[in-house]
Structure 1
Amino acid sequence: MSLKFLAIGECMVEMAPTGEGTYAMGFAGDTLNTAWYARKCLPADWTVGYYTAVGRDQVSEQMLSFLKESDLETAAIQKRDDRTVGLYMIQLKDGERSFAYWRSQSAARCLAADGTHLASALSGAGLIYFSGITLAILPSEDRAKFLDALRTARKAGAKTAFDPNLRPRLWEDADTMRASVTEAAGCCDFLMPSFEDELAHFGDATPDVSADRYLAAGAGMVVVKNGPEEVICADAGSRQAFQPAPVSSIVDTTAAGDSFNAAFLAKYLSGGDVPASVDAGARLAGKVIQHRGALVACLETA
């Protein structure tokens, strides 16, 4: 297996509350968060890359500098003259976050427009990671090209991991969201949903129902996160449940799922078994939610 972890999606300008009535500017986004934490969790012999599209303006250049400083490979990222990068603002109440977005001109919406460039970006990856947001921001024809490119990469030996991260406001309609996510599940070796989303948008009664539905769609392994409740891990031949350790002080749940995914995949890809991988994911997420913002630089991830 190639020792390259490639995350694909939209990196955005993040405006995060400081706790003092002001906001701090940073860069984040669901798949970028996972790539950032994966770089910290994976051994040094792994390469971690990020693929997206940006503009040619100053803030886009700042974003690229940030990615490079984070030791993420950026060579495949597209630069466009006609677009810039998106922005979001985090609002917090009792540790739970809500978001306001400005992303209509985001260059990332064009990341699959050039099929040749997309195929080149995916070539050589050992693990390709994407999310429902990656799919949602693409025009329908580009979404189809993206999934076809994933299928081709899998035939060439790549593994794929997908967090549905269901965000209905980004989709044309709820039916398209559900159909597209289900189709994408059939392209995946690792499917990593959050039960809260699956309950709200698919009507699943339990995490086991979510796991069964995604397995039936063709996913290889399904890892259902459920906040402080049990994590369900299922594949065609087995099913296990794991209870994460409680977290007493929750400050900000931003990137809880993203960081869990990073640590789980890093441990599993490095030869870990399912229990060790779930433990790694839960421990990192438990640390992340005790701090403000998506990317917590002070954490020890080992």
Structure 2
Amino acid sequence: MTRILCIGEAMVELSAQGDLWRAGIAGDTLNTAWYLRRLLGPSHHVGYLTRVGRGDFSRRAVDFMAAEGIDTSHVTTDPTREIGLYAITLTEGERSFTYWRDTSAARGLADGPDRLQSALVGCDIAYLSGITLAILPDAGRAALLDALRGRDVVFDPNLRPRLWPDAGRMRAAITEAAGLAALVLPSFDDEAAHFGDADPKATIARYRAAGAGQVVVKNGGGPVAYGGPEGSGVVDDLPRDRPVDSTAAGDSFNAAYLAARLEGGTCADAIRAGHALSRRVIAHPGALVRAAV
């Protein structure tokens, strides 16, 4: 059995439905865990590591994950903080977010190195994102990265500068985490904006120089470049659609890519699988699209 542990923040998601708002549970690494669980068979175990509160929304989040087949044994409870909240607004299919997460319980998910080590025992793949790192205090971020050293890590940089005190600290932490990872799944538009990469090949070279293994550069539905010890190339025959809602496009790509690799597919096969799922996801509103899988 392959054991995958996704690490990050589960949040209440508010999405507009006309004049009303629909509440769901989502978050970048949780989205990937949800799609992984739906894509993979019973020979694969998907768990989630986070921290929630004691209130009704926190209980709903844990119940939701458990009902979806995601192991919640490493979800801990904070006695004073609560689950975070965000709202999605759309303009021509492109999303923007408003967050209420400054006092989120998930900021304490890495408190206690013993708890981290216990959660990672028996874990074959640890999956996290730049948002996971961004929400943590300095000590928690350092503890999480230390716990991940020497493990099989999959990392999506998911650059969100508003969550960081400054761009330099963001770039340094992202680079450190990528250097620990066997697989890095960046998005080129973010990398160009915040690292100044001229093209996806530059993104691959930079993360490889930091110590990353295979690097697969998502490109907004366009050609996907990859490089590393498993080979390099570009998959450039991917159909491109206008999104209804681009929420979770990258999260679902990551899930389908990883699922395809776990099922024995090549890097190019996995890129096509990731793109195919992402296309289905962006054809519907919201982060978790049951009709897509």
Distance 1:244 1:123, change over 3 A: farther
Q: Which residue of 2 aligns with 1:9?
A: 8
2:211 is matched with which residue: 206, 211, 218? 218
Within 1, Cα distance between the matches of 2:190 and 2:238? 22
User: SS at the partner of 1:148?
Assistant: helix
Q: Is the 8 A contact 1:244 1:282 kept in 2?
A: no
Within 2, Cα distance between the matches of 1:182 and 1:86? 26
Query: How far off its partner does 1:246 sit?
Result: 2.1
Within 1, Cα distance between the matches of 2:236 and 2:118? 40
Query: 1:64 and 2:62 equivalent?
Result: yes
Query: How far off its partner does 1:237 sit?
Result: 6.2
Q: Which residue of 1 aligns with 2:226?
A: 233
2:249 is matched with which residue: 253, 256, 268? 256
Q: Which residue of 2 aligns with 1:206?
A: 199
Match runs of 1:186-201 below 5 Å? 186-201=179-194
Within 2, Cα distance between the matches of 1:244 and 1:258? 21
Letter in structure 2 aligned against 1:81:
P
Match runs of 1:20-99 below 5 Å? 20-99=18-97
Query: 1:163 and 2:156 equivalent?
Result: yes
TM-score after normalising by structure 2: 0.98
Percent identity over the alignment is: 50
Within 1, Cα distance between the matches of 2:229 and 2:6? 26
User: SS at the partner of 1:82?
Assistant: coil
Within 1, Cα distance between the matches of 2:224 and 2:186? 10
Q: Is the 8 A contact 2:53 2:79 kept in 1?
A: yes
Query: How far off its partner does 1:58 sit?
Result: 1.1
User: SS at the partner of 1:172?
Assistant: coil
Q: Which residue of 2 aligns with 1:143?
A: 141
1:61-116 superposed Cα distances (whole Å, 9 cap, x missing partner): 01101101111000111111111000000000000000000001101000001111
1:257-276 superposed Cα distances (whole Å, 9 cap, x missing partner): 00000000011022111111
Match runs of 1:164-179 below 5 Å? 164-179=157-172
Q: Is the 8 A contact 2:54 2:82 kept in 1?
A: yes
2:99 is matched with which residue: 101, 113, 116? 101
Q: Is the 8 A contact 1:14 1:90 kept in 2?
A: yes
Within 1, Cα distance between the matches of 2:135 and 2:267? 32
Within 2, Cα distance between the matches of 1:297 and 1:279? 20
Q: Which runs of 4+ in 1 moved over 6 A?
A: none
Within 2, Cα distance between the matches of 1:236 and 1:201? 26
Structure 2 residue ranges without an equivalent (≥5): none
CA-atom RMSD, angstroms? 1.1
Within 2, Cα distance between the matches of 1:83 and 1:51? 16
Q: Which residue of 1 aligns with 2:128?
A: 130
1:204-251 superposed Cα distances (whole Å, 9 cap, x missing partner): 010110010000000000000001211011004631100253244420
Q: Is the 8 A contact 1:228 1:244 kept in 2?
A: no
Letter in structure 2 aligned against 1:45:
S
1:144-179 superposed Cα distances (whole Å, 9 cap, x missing partner): 110000015x1xxxx210000000111111000000
Letter in structure 2 aligned against 1:48:
V
Q: Is the 8 A contact 2:223 2:238 kept in 1?
A: no
Within 1, Cα distance between the matches of 2:230 and 2:40? 27
Deviates more, 1:273-282 or 1:84-93: 273-282
Within 1, Cα distance between the matches of 2:58 and 2:125? 26
Q: Which residue of 2 aligns with 1:272?
A: 265
1:18-38 superposed Cα distances (whole Å, 9 cap, x missing partner): 2x2221000000000000001
Query: How far off its partner does 1:60 sit?
Result: 0.5
Within 1, Cα distance between the matches of 2:273 and 2:40? 12
TM-score after normalising by structure 1: 0.95
